[in-house]
Structure 1
Amino acid sequence: MQLMPLPQRTWTFGDLTLDLSQPQVMGILNVTPDSFSDGGQHHAQAAAVQRALQMIEEGATVIDIGGESTRPGASVVELQEEIDRVVPVVEALAQYPVVLSIDTSQPQVIQAAVQAGAHIWNDVRALTRPQALQTAAALNIPVIIMHMRGEPTTMNDLAHYNNVTEDVIQELQQRIDVALAAGILPHNIMIDPGFGFAKDAEHNFKLLNELYRLNALGYPMLSGLSRKRFIGEALGGVDAKQRVVGSVAGHLLSVQQGASLVRAHDVRATVDALKVWQRMMQIC
C-alpha cells in the first residue's frame, strides 16, 4: 500500500460544490426490496427520504439513490418501475443542500432523475447499455465508471485475472477511452474499481492493497466496499450488518491511497474515521 494525495478537483452543481481534494462520503440509499444489505428498509418514499436526511445529518455530502439491486441473482427491474422508485425520491431530496447521485445503468432513468434534480450518474455497467454514452455526453454531468465484467447474474463466472490490479486498470482505461471518444468531458469522469463485482475475496484484497496504482489513470476515484462479502470473510463470515468496522477500515485504507469518495451504508462511523485521518494529516 502506498499513501497518495487526493486530486485537486471540484465539481459544481449550481449552488452546490463537491471538493474532491477532501474525502467525501456518499450515503447509500437503496429504494429496492432486494438489495443485499438493506433491501426493503427504504423502499417506500417516506422511509427513503427519512433515511437520506439522517445520512445528511451524519455527514454524507452525496446521496446515492438506486432503484435496482445489482447483487448476484437479483431480479430484473422493468424500466418504468425503476423510474417510479427513483424519481419521487429525487424530487423530495432536491430541495436539500446535498449532491444526488443515481445508481443506474439505464439512460432513461438518469434522464428522468436529472430532470427531477439529480447531479451524478453512477453506473456499475460503465455506460455499456444502448445510448448510455450518448446520454452521458448530452447531459454533461459527472459519471462514475465502474469496473465489472458481464452482468450481476454472470459476473462471478468471469472472476479470472492474470493480475487483478493490472487487468482492472487496463479495462477501466478501455471504458474511459470509449467515453472520451463519445464526447464525455475528462473533468466529468470518476473511476470505481468495482470491489465485489466479478472478483473473489483474494482479488478484492489485492486490489485494495494496490488501489494507489489506479491513480495513474488520472481521474478521481470512488471506493465502494461497504459491507461487501469479502469484508465479512475477513471477519470470520459475519453477516452484512456486522461488517461496519471492517468496512470503515477498508474505506480509510482507500482514502489513504487516493480515493476521493467512499460509498457507505454506515455514514456516521465512516465520517468519524475520516475526521481523525484528516486531523492527523493537518498536523503531519
Structure 2
Amino acid sequence: MDDSSPRNLPAPPTITHPVRTIGARRFDFARDVAVMAVVNRTPDSFYDQGRTFALESAVAACIDAEEAGADWVDIGGAPFAPGPAIEAEEEADRVVPVVDAVRAASDVVISVDTFQAEVARRSIEAGADVVNDTTGLSDPDLPRVVADSDAHIVITHSLAVPRTPYPTPTYEDVAREVADYLEARVERALDAGIPAERIIVDPGHDLNKNTLHSLELTRRLGPIVALGYPTLVAVSNKDFIGESLDAPRAERVEGSLVAAALCIAQGARIIRMHNVRQSVAAVRMTQAILGLREPAYLRHNMGERND
C-alpha cells in the first residue's frame, strides 16, 4: 500500500506459512480472510435445527453458500453438544455423500467437522480438503490419517470428552491457557507427520467456556494468533452472543458480525459463519478498513467535479 495506508491499526499477524493452497484455492493469509459457511447434516444441529439434514438440502446449501461468496464450506454430521455417541459409520454416511456431490460440482474448499479418524479418511477420499476437529485431536489415529493425505487440519481448543458434559469451566487466564493447549496439540500433530504448513488453530469460542471466557478470547485473541498458524474463529450465533445481547439464536446475526470483525482486526483469518451473505460483506468491509483489500471501486469525490 502507498502513503494512504491506514495508520495506528493492529499489525498483521506473523504467520509462518501464510500462503496456503487448500484444495484448488490459494490463500495468502497475510491479507486474505476466508469465509467458511456452516452446513450441518444433522437432525438436531445447533442453529438450523435440521433444515439441511436431507442430502439434497445439504448439497444445495453448500452450493448456495459458494454462490453467496463463501470461500469454504464446513460439513458436519455430529453436533458438538453432549448427547449419544454417533458411530463413525453413521456419521460418514451423513457427510461423505455431501462431500462427494459438492466436490463434483465445485472447487470450493470443503472441510468436514469430525473428530473421528475413519470419518476423516473417507471424507478425504471423497474430496474433502480439510479436517475440522473441534476436540483437539481426541482420536489418536486422526493425526496419522491427515498426515498420510494432502489435507489441512484445524486444531480446536476444547476440554470435554466428545459428546459428554463438562463441569463448570474455570481458567486463570483463558487466552494464555487456550494458547498453551493449542501449542501442545500442534506439537502432537507435527510429531505425527502433519507439516506446519497444513495446520490451522481455533480457540473454540463457547466450547467448554462460559460467556465471560468467550468475550475475553474475542478481545484478547493475540496469544492464539501469536502461535504463528492461521487462526480460525467460530463465533457465529453462539451463546456468548445471545447472553451478551439477550438475544435468541435467530437474532444474533449483528452480534456475530461484530465479533467476527474484532477477531479479524486482531489477526483471525478464517471466519466460520452461518449467515453467509451478511458475513461476506462484513468480512470484506473489515479487510478494506484494515487496508487488506482495495475497495471494489472508487467514485465518490474522485473527479474534477464532486457532489
Q: TM exceeds 0.5?
A: yes
Q: Which residue of 2 aligns with 1:5?
A: 12
Structure 2 residue runs of 5 or longer lacking an equivalent are 1-8, 296-307
**Within 2, Cα distance between the matches of 1:94 and 1:42?**
17
Residue of 247, 254, 259 corresponding to 2:268: 259
DSSP-derived class of the 2:64 partner = helix
Number of residue equivalences = 281
Give the superposition deviation at 1:14. 5.4
Q: Which has the larger radius of gyration?
A: 2
Q: TM-score, normalised by structure 1?
A: 0.94
How far apart are 1:159 and its partner, in Å? Answer: 1.1
Distance in 2 of aligned mates of 1:263 and 1:233: 20
> Identity across aligned pairs (percent)?
36
Q: Answer yes or no: is 1:97 the counterpart of 2:104.
A: no
1:12-65 superposed Cα distances (whole Å, 9 cap, x missing partner): 245432332311100000000111111310011110111111111111000000
Task: Indicate which of 14, 25, 48 corresponds to 1:38.
Answer: 48
Equivalent residue number for residue 29 of structure 1: 39
The residue number in structure 2 matching 1:220 is 230
In structure 2, the CA distance between the partners of 1:135 and 1:152, relative to structure 1 (3 Å rule), is closer
CA displacement 1:141-194 (0-9 Å, x = unmatched): 210000000235445415111111111111111111111111111111110000
Residue of structure 1 aligned with 2:258, choices 242, 249, 265: 249
Q: What is the match of residue 285 of structure 2?
A: 276
Q: TM-score, normalised by structure 2?
A: 0.87
Note closer, same or farther for the CA distance 1:165–1:137 as it changes in structure 2 (3 Å cut). Answer: same
Task: Kindly indicate whether residue 120 of structure 2 is the aligned counterpart of residue 113 of structure 1.
Answer: no
Q: Match for 2:70 among 41, 60, 69?
A: 60
Helix, strand or coil for the counterpart of 1:100? strand
Partner in structure 2 of residue 193 of structure 1: 203
Give secondary structure in 2 for the equivalent of 1:77. coil
Of 16, 41, 63, 2:25 maps to 16
Could you tell me whether the CA contact under 8 Å between 2:236 and 2:272 is conserved in 1?
yes
| Partner residue, 2:302 | none
Q: 3-state DSSP class of the match of 2:181? A: helix
> Do the aligned partners of 1:190 and 1:220 also contact (CA within 8 Å) in 2?
yes
Deviating runs (4+, > 4 A) in structure 1?
Answer: 152-155
Instruction: Report the residue type matching 2:133 in the other structure.
Output: D
Residues 140 and 184 in structure 1, CA contact (< 8 A), matched pair in contact too? no
Q: What is the rounded CA distance, in whole Å, between the counterparts of 2:58 and 2:78 in structure 1? A: 14
- Whether 1:77 aligns to 2:86 is yes
Once the two structures are superposed, the pairs formed by residues 230-249 of structure 1 within 5 Å of their partners are 230-236=240-246, 238-249=247-258
Which structure features the higher share of helix residues? 1
AA aligned to 2:132 is N
Paired position in structure 1 for 2:4: none
**Partners in 1 of 2:22 and 2:257 — Cα distance?**
28
Separation in 2 of the partners of 1:199 and 1:25?
24
124-133 or 258-267: bigger deviation? 124-133
Whole-Å Cα distance in 1 between the matches of residues 28 and 39 of structure 2?
21
Q: CA RMSD in A?
A: 1.8
- Alignment CA distance shift 1:19-1:133 (3 Å): same
CA–CA separation in structure 2 for the residues paired with 1:18 and 1:93: 20
In the alignment, the residues of structure 1 paired with residue 108 and residue 100 of structure 2 have an alpha-carbon distance, to the nearest angstrom, of: 12
Instruction: Please state how far the C-alpha of 1:196 moved relative to its aligned partner.
Output: 0.6
Structure-2 separation of matches of 1:176 and 1:142: 12
SS of aligned partner of 2:21: strand
